[in-house]
Structure 1
Amino acid sequence: MLKTAVCVAGTEPVLKIKDQQTGEVATDRETGDSLYTVTVMLMEDGRAEIMKITVPQPGLVAGLKPGAMVRPVDLFATPWARIFNGQLSDGVAYRAARLELVAVEAAQ
């Protein structure tokens, strides 16, 4: 049986800030495009995972709002770890080239 994963946007895109003190906006190193963060819920096999996905501004589609089904395109995960005040923090940073809206088929 083929397993189906569903991604649902949990938030509207939020501008990513590089430096909270200066308000400097995070940008793509190659294109200079502003970066946004979208919280997405990935649901598969009765489990759900919340992911914050960074997307460049041109990769955001009109109509992207909470509850919309989306498909991350060219999704890339990067594990990270750092020590801050003697405490280890770690996680996974997600980045996608764009988010596409997924059309919901009507029940028949």
Structure 2
Amino acid sequence: METPNRSPSTLAEGRRSPERYSPTVMLMEDGRAEVLKITVPETGLAAGLKPGVMVRPVELFATPWARIFNGQLSDGVAYRAALLELVTVEAAQ
């Protein structure tokens, strides 16, 4: 049954797309490191992307989530971005 006057959200459209990738990105700031898995559409992966290169997520969006499974609470943050652009060393400084 279709609900009238209701358009799908951008997040729902992303979930239906089979061409998604979730590269692991390391954020380094103030002597600390955070590991983020960012979901990106295939069209958002930069040419030349390989392990160890610096990237900048464009239109990064964080969604907090929580669920209870077998009486245990699990929670976290899901990240998605429109694209990962390559960063040159000069631009990073």
Q: Does residue 51 in structure 1 map to residue 36 in structure 2?
A: yes
Q: CA deviation at 1:32?
A: 3.6
- Paired residue for 2:58? 73
- CA distance, structure 2, for counterparts of residue 76 and residue 52 of structure 1: 12
Structure 1 runs (4+) greater than 4 angstroms displaced: none
Larger radius of gyration: 2
Aligned length: 78
- CA distance, structure 2, for counterparts of residue 98 and residue 33 of structure 1: 16
Q: Give unmatched runs, 5+ long, in structure 2.
A: 1-11
Richer in helix (by share): 2
The percent of aligned pairs where both chains have the same amino acid is 76
Q: TM-score scaled to structure 2, two decimals?
A: 0.77
- Paired residue for 2:80? 95
Task: Give the SS at the match of 2:33.
Answer: strand
Q: CA deviation at 1:67?
A: 0.4
- Paired residue for 1:29? 13
RMSD: 1.7
